Amino acid sequence: MSSFKAFEEKQSQVKTLSNFEFLQRVGQVTGGTLLSITMLSSSVLAGSLVGLAISLRNLPDVRKLRNFFPSETTYIYDIKGKLLARVHGEANRQVVPLDKISPHLKRAVLASEDSHFYEHQGISPASIGRAALANWAAGEVREGGSTITMQLVKNLFLSQKRVFTRKIVEAVLAIRLEQVFSKDEILEMYLNQVYWGHNNYGVQTAARTYFKKSAQNLTLGESAMMAGLIQAPEDFSPFVNMKLAKQKQQEVLGRMLELNWISQQEYDDALKQKIQLGRIRSFQGSALPYVTNAVSQELIKKFGRETLLKGGMQVQTTVDAEFQMMAEKTIKKWHQTLENQGLNNNQMALVAIDPRTQFIKALVGGVDAKTSEFNRATQAQRQPGSAFKPFVYYTAFASGKFTPQTTVLDTPVRYRDGNSWYYPRNYDNSFMGGIPIRKALALSRNIPAIKLGKAVGMNKVIETCRVLGIMSPMVPVSSLPLGAIGVTPLEITSAYATFANYGWYSPPTIIARITDSSGNILVDNTPRPQRVLDPWASAATLDVMQAVVTEGTGTGAAIGRPVAGKTGTTSSEKDIWFIGTVPQLTTAIWVGRDDNQQLARRATGGGMVAPMWRDFMQQALKGVPVENFQPPAKFPRPR
């Protein structure tokens, strides 16, 4: 049986003591000698009898610790379990149960801090006596004589100011704590509460920082080095001074040998062990800040900032880290390419969503998160231009009055909006006369889109957008079909993804699952799609959007497999887009300037963004089987 298990067997119960009985007990345990009484009396007098009486009367209730949860770090992972970021306030901590902590570390800490822990009832009279005598001789507080239990109540309940009255209060609270909690519970709380240096609170974060491993797997040598940190963590840190850290390690091992808790061979082997250090991680930035910042905002919205910083949540995102990094590299590359083409000061955003689940697979909110944390993918309200037209065409198909073959007139027209007349025009200022709807969308003709919007009712178009999750303000004016509204890239990508899934919708999410530090599920975003669009109208919309890529304004997005997509270019070339989808992935790319100025004369989504989209999708779809979209004929037409 190990020494630690033997400690557990020696635990004893202590009856509830009044404060007066506590003082009597101290005298009894020290043999009732005059020296002990004198030292305690000196301590009391030094702190003032009045102050001590007040302190004892107003002691906190240690039973509240039954419902106490120390602040813990929130961890954010990618879909495969790769750690992306730690989010915490002042305390970087991950709580672990006592049985998940190395026995070596438990022995090392006990040897260093309180070798009689399993024998006393909260205070160690011998240690208090030695400390009091040293303090009396020095005329000030120099030694603490604190047990692990006393250290714990100091960390949890008391100030760090070193005065005699505080030491008495510590002792009283320590005895009370041991009446309520078992020794193992106290040791577990202590090891998870204590500060280990470099913003690491608790053994688990400390073990991962110092030695790149779980506290459960620490060796004897590593454990002794960690135990040596407690008294002055930053001073004895191996990151700061390995020589001093080794010296403290040897002291701890020597104490363990003296107590017969380890053998001479174990002592020698531990000193010879080569220490492989980790790295300081506290307040380390995220490798994927656009992703982790978006996740943090979602967590704050759902749980509050306090829970994010202290709640110890384990968050699995929907993003694959390698896929995300590929998306970010693609954006940076094309940013430079467009700069070379004269699109100065351009910014970009990319959103990729799996239409079958509405899981976000990539989220790039700008060219460089280090220079600007503003997430244009989720926060920027930009005009989609002609990329809005599919919502008009879907609404027309869903009315049951139109098909992709229906002829619509591309001819001059004017509309009265309020007190003024509106004269829509096409991008090239020409008119094509009667053309099929398929051709009208493929060539992004403006007038046919407006005429269809008028035919079905602009309010119906707005209803379609709302069902698809686009909540930006919209007014049913004649220019609405041309995208004269603000949308985020995330909103419009999700809407296109719903078309790609034939009208089945789930709210888009970047979070797959959240658990608390004990593994209890807090959020499970397993997709639960609902049918929100007519399947025939959705398939018909996809059908005409394929013509955009095969014969229209988006030929630059062709990737050798079926693609349904739409270009978008706003007036004055302030926003340019390409949004496209295959059955397995929907991606939107936006380019614009943060100051909302013109990018460049004749800048278009088809000419400049479609090639970027093609580059990204060719990388994203490597190894992904080619799939065809379902034809409209597979679904019953609306009536």
Residue whose entry in the numeric block shows the structure tokens 């049913």: 476
Residue whose entry in the numeric block shows the structure tokens 């954006």: 331
Structural tokens at position 464: 């379609």
Distance of CA 414 to the CA centre of its chain: 51
For 64, residues 6+ apart whose C-beta sits below 8 A from its C-beta are none
Task: Answer whether 452's CB lies under 8 Å from 392's CB.
Answer: yes
Q: Which residues pair with 76 in a beta bridge?
A: 85, 315
Region class of 517: left (phi > 0), else alpha (psi between -120 and 50), else beta: alpha
Catalytic residues: 113, 386
Q: Which amino acid, one-letter code, is at 7?
A: F
Distance CA 328, CA 290 (A): 10
- Count Cβ atoms below 10 Å from residue 386 Cβ, excluding itself: 26
Distance CA 214, CA 407 (A): 68
Name the H helices within 341-388.
none
Q: Which amino acid, one-letter code, is at 239?
A: F
Q: Which amino acid, one-letter code, is at 223?
A: S
Distance of CA 558 to the CA centre of its chain: 36
Alpha-carbon distances, residue 530 vs 94, 278, 498, 506, 543 (angstroms): 38, 47, 10, 7, 22
For 54, residues 6+ apart whose C-beta sits below 8 A from its C-beta are none
Sign of CA dihedral 240, 246, 249, 255: negative
Task: Answer whether 412's CB lies under 8 Å from 432's CB.
Answer: no
Residue whose entry in the numeric block shows the structure tokens 């944390």: 373
Sheet of 314-317, strand order: 83-87, 74-77, 314-317, 511-515, 521-524
Task: Answer whether 202's CB lies under 8 Å from 84's CB.
Answer: no
Task: Answer whether 461's CB lies under 8 Å from 455's CB.
Answer: no
